[in-house]
């Protein structure tokens, strides 16, 4: 399997779906919004974008399976599995906030071997495949070389349905506000991770996430020289609903902070 060619083919598919999403954004209204759960939204744009991605990816890698956000397909692959978020940042999209992305990862027997995060508004495509460098629109990217949390710009996401750890979240949030250069909340975990990979952010952390939110971005961070782990410092960050992503230099310091607040 030539993963480089597969990655480039998948990027072309993303470009086609990007055009569809941005065209629909021009005429989109709140009447098109559906509710999946409390503060959890979807629209026909998410669903149709996912269907387009699934159909096209199935052609370039027949017999592959899919893990998708909007449940447009249920198919298990014996070897290959695509993990897809067709529109990461749906709340931004429906409110006209210009930051949302397509996130696509490919796993071979539960090992991620390819990742694409395409931020649609700035036309920035972050990607990597197994044994490659991390790239942004064809140029190599690397994580930052920031050495301390005090000098870091940190990204996170606010809980919107799982409030079981809200007290701990608020405590670490307040600590980081006082002991870093600031915290940002973009509304797309995939983009947060991509920004760690290219050094715009030094750390990203969040809980309550799904595989399609993090699989692609975390892989790109890894290929850019960064590190990913769960709040305990283990590797269950794709399916464990919690992730810390760092430039590697900050891993020990941030993990110790995290363990202090998330018991």
Neighbours of 175 (CB within 10 A): 14
d(CA 221, CA 245): 8
- Each residue of 53-82: pLDDT tens digit? 999 999 999 999 999 988 788 778 889 999
CA atoms of 55 and 64, how far apart (whole Å): 11
Reply yes or no on domain 149-261 having CATH 3.40.190.80. yes
Q: What percent of the chain has pLDDT over 90?
A: 84
| Prediction pTM value | 0.95
**Phi–psi pair at 191, nearest 5 degrees:** -70, -40
Q: Which tokens belong to 68?
A: 């998708």
Give the start-to-end residue ranges of the domains of the chain. 3-141, 149-261
> 158-216, pLDDT tens digit by residue?
887 788 899 999 999 999 999 999 999 999 999 999 999 999 999 999 999 999 999 99
Note the pLDDT of residue 55. 97
Gap between the Cα atoms of 185 and 188, Å rounded: 8
| CATH architecture type of domain 3-141 | 2-Layer Sandwich (3.30)
Share of the chain above pLDDT 70, in %: 98
């Amino acid at each position: 399997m030539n993963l480089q060619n597969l990655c480039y083919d998948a990027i072309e598919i993303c470009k086609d779906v990007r055009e569809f999403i941005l065209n629909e954004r021009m005429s989109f209204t709140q009447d098109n919004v559906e509710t999946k759960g409390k503060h959890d939204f979807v629209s026909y744009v998410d669903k149709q974008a996912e269907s387009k991605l699934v159909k096209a990816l199935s052609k370039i890698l027949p017999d592959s399976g899919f893990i998708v956000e909007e449940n447009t397909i249920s198919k298990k692959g014996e070897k290959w599995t695509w993990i897809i978020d067709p529109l990461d940042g749906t709340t931004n999209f429906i409110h006209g906030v210009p930051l949302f992305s397509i996130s696509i990862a490919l796993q071979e027997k539960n090992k991620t071997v390819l990742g694409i995060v395409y931020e649609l508004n700035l036309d920035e495509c972050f990607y990597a495949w197994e044994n490659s460098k991390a790239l942004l629109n064809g140029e190599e990217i690397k994580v930052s070389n920031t050495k301390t949390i005090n000098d870091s710009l940190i990204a996170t996401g606010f809980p919107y349905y799982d409030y079981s750890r809200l007290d701990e979240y608020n405590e670490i949030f307040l600590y980081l506000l006082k002991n870093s250069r600031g915290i940002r909340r973009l509304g797309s975990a995939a983009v947060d991770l991509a920004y760690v990979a290219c050094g715009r952010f030094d750390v990203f952390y969040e809980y309550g996430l799904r595989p399609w939110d993090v699989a692609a971005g975390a892989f790109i961070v890894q290929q850019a020289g960064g590190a990913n782990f769960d709040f305990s410092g283990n590797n269950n960050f794709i399916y464990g609903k919690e992730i810390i992503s760092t430039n590697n230099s900050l891993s020990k310091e941030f993990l110790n902070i995290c363990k202090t607040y998330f018991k």
